[in-house]
A and B are shown apart, each in its own frame.
Chain A
Amino acid sequence: MSDEAKARWQAAAASLGERSAYKKVWDLQAGDPDLASLSVAGHTDEATLELTGRGFIDTLRSTVGVDRDDVVLEIGCGIARVGRPLSLECLHWFGADISGVMLGHAAARLRDRPNTTLVELATVGLQEFPRDAFDLAYCTIVFMHLFEWDRYRYVEEVFRVLRPGGRCYFDNFSLDSEHGWNVFMDGARYPLERRPAHLSMSSSREELGTYLGRAGFADVRVHDLPNELIAATGRKPD
């Protein structure tokens, strides 16, 4: 990551008061492909993107499974870091994001993937999608940027758009990990008036499990992942 890119990233930050204005915040964070990549993945080179994308697919496989015939939805797909490799392993991949600018970068990366579709979300929620449509819906490295109410809104919406028997996956970093605590303390060091809108906020196991249980999912499990993330998975009852 170049110093110049870091500086532009800092300059593109909106204030914490605007955290709920997700479209504005993330359009601002997606000014150009490098900035977008930095904002959603923390790095800019394609090889690392591919590697981390494939790493996440392994996580999906080990928690909820990935099938060749799956119709998949990713919430907050960003530049399609995961979607690009995952589209090779499923029937059709739909990527949804609230930032149209971010999706512009994703579209460029998915030109050679005919079984992919990008959808710009108008606001928090999945009102663009019909019910009972997807086999698998997941949301990774997104919850840390959302307020809790909006996290739960997506869980509820995933319940609606999954077909009966469909699987879901949501992750976040946990406060009780080294990484989680470091992120928390980094955030705490910001002067009050300069806290950026995209500041990462942790989840607890109880929080994620509660969301899925309250939304109606069955077989709810919370996983401790090797990269100090926690993930909640569940299945929409038949």
Chain B
Amino acid sequence: MDGLPPVSPAPGDPGARLAALQAELESVRRREAEFRAKMVHEFLDRGERNTYVHVLHEERAALVKRQQESFADLEDLTRKIEAESARVAALEAELAEIRGSWLWRVSAPVRAAARALGRGAPAPAAGRAGVEGGVFAYYLHTSPFRIYRDDRFTLRGWAWPQDGRAVTAVRVSLDGRVFEGRHGLEEPEVIARYGPQAANPKPGFEITFETPPGRHSLSLEAQIDGAAWRRIMATTIWCEPRSR
């Protein structure tokens, strides 16, 4: 015990000194127990934080991956548009050359007669002519503007006609091939933001459609009040399976 500070007021009194030592020992024991309780709490907190941080890391990694895929898709699309533009320019040059030719000028009366007889009229643009366009408020959770890599895709979103009528069915038309979807799905955040929609209290929908390789016309359509179909939006899509 040499060198320790005195813990009792009377070094000559063994009883008092013992009691003081006992009190000091109790105090140390309590502090040690408090330290252990604190250690358990810190261990529990760290476990919770680690779990949460892990989830955030996972989510971030998934988002970065998706962003990279999106950038790559957009680049691909840009290249396609460039290629199409070059092809259009070449065709336009060829057409101008044909129109400037002697034979084209000579045959002009024949073409005029054919048009008058109803032949040779231009074909309607694929996909967009079938259904009349409507005016909708809508949002697509799964963007259709992408390169389609898998053999099917599910379009999820919500929509209602601006005139307040009810959507009674939804579908995707892909080059005229119809894929029916599910509608009437809950979208509580949309209702909270835009207010209740009397005719469309559950404006969510999802439609799964096949995406065979190639270029297609996609038309997202809704049936209104159980009668006519109206186009919500349309776009050209490119489906290219990943090369193995």
Binds A, one of B39-47, B116-124, B190-198: B39-47
Q: How many residues on chain A are close to B (CB under 8 Å)? A: 16
CB-CB < 8 A to B36: which residues of A? 71, 132-135, 163
Q: In the complex, are the beta carbons of A69 and B44 less than 8 A apart?
A: no
Interface of chain A residues 119 through 141 with chain B (CB within 8 A)? 119, 128-130, 132-135
B65 near A: Cβ within 8 Å? Answer: no
Q: In the complex, are the beta carbons of B44 and A135 less than 8 A apart?
A: no
Interface of chain A residues 121 through 171 with chain B (CB within 8 A)? 128-130, 132-135, 163
Instruction: Look across to chain A and name the residue whose beta carbon is closest to the beta carbon of B34.
Output: A91
Q: Would you give the 0/1 interface string for B33-65, flagging 1 where the beta carbon is closer than 8 Å to chain A?
A: 110110111011001000000000000000000
Majority SS at the chain B contact face: helix
**A130 CA to B47 CA in the complex, in Å?**
10
Interface of chain B residues 179 through 237 with chain A (CB within 8 A)? none
Q: In the complex, are the beta carbons of A69 and B43 less than 8 A apart?
A: no
B87 near A: Cβ within 8 Å? Answer: no
A34 near B: Cβ within 8 Å? Answer: no
Q: In the complex, are the beta carbons of A117 and B41 less than 8 A apart?
A: yes
B111 near A: Cβ within 8 Å? Answer: no
Q: In the complex, are the beta carbons of B40 and A133 less than 8 A apart?
A: yes
Which residue in B26, B33, B44, B47 is a CB contact (below 8 Å) of A71? B33
CB-CB < 8 A to A236: which residues of B? none
Instruction: Look across to chain A and name the residue whose beta carbon is closest to the beta carbon of B46.
Output: A130
Q: In the complex, are the beta carbons of B43 and A130 less than 8 A apart?
A: yes
CB distance from A99 to the nearest CB of B (A): 18
**A135 CA to B36 CA in the complex, in Å?**
9
**A69 CA to B25 CA in the complex, in Å?**
12
CB distance from A68 to the nearest CB of B (A): 8
CB-CB < 8 A to A135: which residues of B? 33, 36
A94 near B: Cβ within 8 Å? Answer: yes
CB distance from B48 to the nearest CB of A (A): 9
Q: Would you give the 0/1 interface string for B1-45, flagging 1 where the beta carbon is closer than 8 Å to chain A?
A: 000000000000000000000000010011001101101110110
Interface of chain A residues 61 through 87 with chain B (CB within 8 A)? 69-71
* 5 interchain residue pairs of minimum CB distance: A92-B37, A130-B43, A69-B33, A71-B37, A133-B40
Interface residues in chain A, defined as those with a beta carbon under 8 Å from any beta carbon in chain B = 69-71, 91-92, 94, 117, 119, 128-130, 132-135, 163
20 contacts between A and B (CB under 8 A): A69-B30, A70-B33, A71-B33, A71-B36, A91-B33, A91-B37, A92-B37, A94-B40, A117-B44, A128-B44, A129-B40, A129-B43, A130-B39, A130-B40, A130-B43, A133-B36, A133-B39, A133-B40, A134-B36, A135-B33
